[in-house]
A and B are shown apart, each in its own frame.
Chain A
């Protein structure tokens, strides 16, 4: 028997919050993945909504590309409000 595919599980813990990755599980199809996720990841009211995505459908950045991807932002400190000097007398800025 071939192994059931792996699914990544995302749960919205409260209305108003985004779905967050909580773990993974095996299931034969999406419907069973949702049912299993209910039992494995929400036994204590941890969620109000579940997403499942086949792990093989996720494209991830590679740890080796970390510098190329994220380093350019390091030098752009002017993107943060703390970069700017505001005189003490000026309010509401």
Chain B
């Protein structure tokens, strides 16, 4: 089947849930899509931290809508995982038990309002760059979920940039707050594209299967090239002394990334790992009675309908 399958991938014919697929392809998708779904869900937490403290009613309404979008994105992706033959309950258990990972960026804290701007601008900006190619990936349900998500992410990035712009044009204290947020979120955002190509163990096979269309380093370069002029426009300084335009390459050069930090956060030693996971465990446990009550009500209504 493997050669036949690969031919189909090369021909650009999408794979759908009932089609035959190699176990490795299925498992890679389950790992990647569930990790992606968990990231959307856990990603609500750092932003949810500021809903009650948003500076104006307008900002609060916008932030609520954004966090609600993240929940929606998680649900589109959970549904895509389910088409591969894993139950929703199992997928969620894997997050709560710590077996499944989520994007390590969400293990950093949101200390000031400017962090909400920096997350939208940088974190959602990096996510968009990673996600746009996935709209064309070989697995139909994943590609379709990504089309919806990418449409909505653009609002997220723009609202973040607008927060940064407002702060950057505000009082010296507000501008300093924006700079501080950029300082803290810059390097973790660069890590969102994943380890360097040389160390990325799944990349080659994922590219052959067209689950991944660009390498981590290509995506990272694209991100830096987009963000650097935007930071100039804001009058903020990216915290990298090596960052400069390279006319020969036609790209920005940038300094080395501290991958030890990346691996340490993935292994659970980021500033908020424990807090994030505990928040999900508590939410799941505290919601149990709602799930049970809704199921009991539905069962009762079905029984009534049978009698009548």
Contact = CB atoms under 8 A, between A and B. Distances in A.
Interface of A: 1-4, 6, 23-26, 28-29, 32, 39-40, 43-44, 60, 62-63
B190 interface: no
Contacts of A2: 295
B291 A4 contact: yes
Contacts of A25: 75, 79
B95 to A, nearest CB: 16
Nearest to B302: A29
Contacts of B145: 23
Contact of B18 (A23, A29, A39, A63): A63
B243 interface: no
B272 to A, nearest CB: 27
A43 to B, nearest CB: 6
A60 B18 contact: yes
Interface in B103-130: none
Nearest to A61: B18
B294 A4 contact: yes
B267 interface: no
B79 A24 contact: yes
The list of the 9 closest CB pairs from A to B, nearest first, reads: A28-B298, A29-B298, A28-B294, A24-B79, A28-B295, A63-B19, A3-B89, A40-B75, A63-B18
Given A1-B295, A4-B291, A43-B65, 8 more contacts: A1-B288, A1-B291, A25-B75, A28-B298, A29-B301, A43-B68, A43-B69, A63-B16
A62 B72 contact: no
Majority SS at the chain B contact face:
helix
B292 A1 contact: yes
Contacts of A39: 68, 72
Contacts of B75: 25, 40
B44 to A, nearest CB: 14
A83 B196 CA distance: 55
A6 B87 CA distance: 10
21 contacts: A1-B288, A2-B295, A3-B87, A4-B295, A6-B82, A23-B76, A23-B79, A24-B79, A25-B75, A28-B297, A29-B298, A29-B302, A32-B294, A40-B72, A40-B75, A40-B76, A43-B68, A43-B69, A43-B72, A44-B152, A60-B18
Interface in B280-298: 288, 291-292, 294-295, 297-298
A6 to B, nearest CB: 7
Contacts of B68: 39, 43
Given A28-B298, A63-B19, A3 B72 contact: no
Contacts of B291: 1, 4
